[in-house]
């Protein structure tokens, strides 16, 4: 997987959250399965914090508000996360 492909997976998950943020709890997590690089969203109560094969980020750390008051993907945050893995 290339870095650009991984970044697109991150963006896609964040966009899914933005579209339907009410479907998740207040601490929704963006999770990455380390062995497959699968990216998915989960409620905080569904995440096993002791799992060694999954790392999670608070999805709100990957969004920012645009000048019109709408959520959008924080590209700098996506870059930072992708730098950790690729």
> Does residue 49 surpass a pLDDT of 90?
no
Q: Which positions ≥6 away from 13 have C-beta within 8 Å? A: 30, 39, 40, 41, 59
pTM of the model: 0.93
- pLDDT band of residue 15 (cuts 50, 70, 90) is very high
- pLDDT band of residue 30 (cuts 50, 70, 90) is very high
Average pLDDT over residues 36-46: 94
């Amino acid at each position: 997987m290339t870095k650009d492909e991984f970044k697109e997976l991150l963006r896609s998950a964040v966009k899914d959250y933005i579209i339907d943020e009410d479907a998740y709890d207040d601490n929704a997590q963006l999770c990455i399965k380390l062995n497959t690089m699968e990216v998915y969203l989960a409620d905080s109560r569904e995440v096993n914090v002791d799992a060694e094969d999954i790392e999670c980020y608070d999805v709100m750390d990957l969004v920012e508000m645009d000048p019109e008051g709408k959520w959008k993907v924080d590209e700098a945050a996506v870059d930072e996360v992708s730098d950790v893995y690729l």
